[in-house]
Amino acid sequence: MDFDLTEEQRMIQETIRKFADEEIAPVASENDKKAHFPRDLFEKLAALGFMGTPIPEEYGGAGFDFISHAIVAEEIGRVDSSLRGTYSVQVSLVELPIYKFANEEQKKKYLPKLTSGEWIGCYGLTEPNAGSDPASMVTSAVEDGDFYVLNGQKTWITNAGIADLAIVYAKTDKEAGSRGITAFFVERGMEGFSTRDLHDKLGLRASNTGEIFLENCRVPKDNIMGDLNKGFKVALGTLDFGRYTVSAGWVGSAQGCINICKKYVKERIQFGKLLGEFQLVQQMIADMVVECEAGRLLVYRAGHLKNKGLPNTRETSIAKYYCSEMVNRVAYKAVQLHGGYGFSGEYDVERFYRDARINTLYEGTSQIQQLIIGAYELGLKAFV
């Protein structure tokens, strides 16, 4: 593995970093306070090619490799986890599974609209009583001529309230457990499809989160993604994409905390000298930097395997587990270094701290990642 970025990767990094600093960062705090989703920034990112990063050009994407894709997620996450969340879902939970699992007609129909930013997508897997155990979902899909009739509810769905397209998972065989799940394309405007926004979140406030309601929603059979009753395979493959992207975003969030703290401790004076001159402060900064760098390398290792088309579920879960816990530790230290100011919305570390908390919960909790990693190491599954 070559640890040096290619010239193309450096150019991508410079472009997205400049955009993040000049366009996203100045409004991130205000958008968080108002719980406002910045559709204009989403569209600008799409216009630059950043809403279809790893999708081939023939479908409207940028054709980036997975390291470049991670760089984009990191740079957005460095200034705003909310917008990074929208990016992660759009690209990794919607576009990439379409590219991998959908048929050619479906790819041509949906991918150009998504990569261009004309449409926003969401991923409808989680239910009120089916989070870490998606096989226990109760959303049903009953065959009716050329259609399937869907009934059920999805919750904690990023982009739900703004999405034009939802990839919805439903039971087409209630008795078959995980082997009876099918993935469907459900478009906004289809009868029986509705959403409701969720408010008062601890973090990611500028990212739209909501519930999906399916009430006798008639979906054409042509809208099945992949094979009938094979949706669980699609879901697991999708999570490998999603976990990789969010891990890169958390590396960015950790780097954002470090950058803010470096500036603060070189300006703040206590006991007659700069805060950054105290040994314990330097120790905290050092710990934050080492953790962030370790997370970045774990992400790049998983991306390297993805670029080669090699199995990477284990490596992606390792990155997800480590980076999600790491960014919480780094954000905690960032607040500590700011003292009382860190407890105030006056400084961005407060927002970073709140945003970090969700990371150990979604895309598979830290405990689920431990079970995945443990199963690979021992050859014994703790769950089926």
pLDDT tens figures, 10-54: 999 999 999 999 999 999 999 999 999 999 999 999 999 999 999
Residue 60 lies inside a defined structural domain of this protein: yes
Find the mean pLDDT for residues 373-377: 96
pLDDT of residue 275 exceeding 80: yes
Q: Report yes or no: 369 and 320 within 8 Å, Cβ to Cβ.
A: yes
Shared-domain flag, residues 146 and 237: no
pLDDT cut 70: percent of the chain above it:
99
Residue 137 lies inside a defined structural domain of this protein: yes
The residue range of the domain holding 116 is 7-120
Which residues, at least 6 apart from 293, have a Cβ–Cβ distance to it below 8 Å? none
Find the mean pLDDT for residues 331-354: 96
pLDDT in tens, 294-306: 999 999 999 999 9
Shared-domain flag, residues 364 and 374: yes
Shared-domain flag, residues 110 and 193: no
pLDDT for the residue numbered 133: 87
pLDDT for the residue numbered 132: 85
CATH number, domain of 185, equals: 2.40.110.10
Residue 245 lies inside a defined structural domain of this protein: yes
Which residues, at least 6 apart from 349, have a Cβ–Cβ distance to it below 8 Å? 257, 260, 261, 331, 334, 335, 337, 338, 342
Amino acid in position 216: N
Shared-domain flag, residues 244 and 369: yes
pLDDT for the residue numbered 306: 97
Find the mean pLDDT for residues 87-108: 98
Helical segments of the chain, H only: 7-19, 25-34, 39-47, 66-77, 81-88, 96-101, 104-115, 231-265, 279-307, 313-338, 348-356, 366-378
Q: Among all chains, which residue has been given the structure tokens 């008639």?
A: 218
> What three-state secondary structure class fits 273?
strand
Shared-domain flag, residues 348 and 242: yes
Number of domains observed in the structure of the chain: 3
CATH number, domain of 251, equals: 1.20.140.10
Shared-domain flag, residues 237 and 368: yes
> What three-state secondary structure class fits 168?
strand
**What value does the mean pLDDT of the chain take?**
96
pLDDT for the residue numbered 205: 98
Find the mean pLDDT for residues 248-261: 98
- Choosing from 227, 255, 289, the residue where a domain stops is 227
Residue 187 lies inside a defined structural domain of this protein: yes
255 token code pair: 């780097």
Residue 147 lies inside a defined structural domain of this protein: yes
pLDDT for the residue numbered 1: 66
Sign (positive or negative) of CA dihedral 87, 88, 93, 96:
positive
- Choosing from 69, 92, 120, the residue where a domain stops is 120
Shared-domain flag, residues 104 and 200: no
Question: Which residue in the list 58, 346, 363, 377 is annotated as catalytic?
Answer: 363
Residue 384 lies inside a defined structural domain of this protein: no
| Phi–psi pair at 133, nearest 5 degrees | -115, 75
- Choosing from 227, 257, 285, the residue where a domain stops is 227
193 or 130: which leads in pLDDT:
193
Residue 258 lies inside a defined structural domain of this protein: yes
Shared-domain flag, residues 243 and 291: yes
CATH number, domain of 19, equals: 1.10.540.10
| Phi–psi pair at 200, nearest 5 degrees | 60, 40
pLDDT of residue 177 exceeding 90: no
pLDDT for the residue numbered 384: 60
Degrees, nearest 5: CA angle 54-57-61: 45
Shared-domain flag, residues 270 and 133: no
Residue 24 lies inside a defined structural domain of this protein: yes
> What three-state secondary structure class fits 161?
helix
Shared-domain flag, residues 174 and 274: no
Round to whole Å and give the CA distance between 83 and 119.
16
Find the mean pLDDT for residues 130-149: 93
pLDDT of residue 106 exceeding 70: yes
pLDDT for the residue numbered 140: 97
232 or 134: which leads in pLDDT:
232
Active-site residue, 14 included = no
Shared-domain flag, residues 39 and 56: yes
Shared-domain flag, residues 286 and 176: no
Find the mean pLDDT for residues 44-73: 97
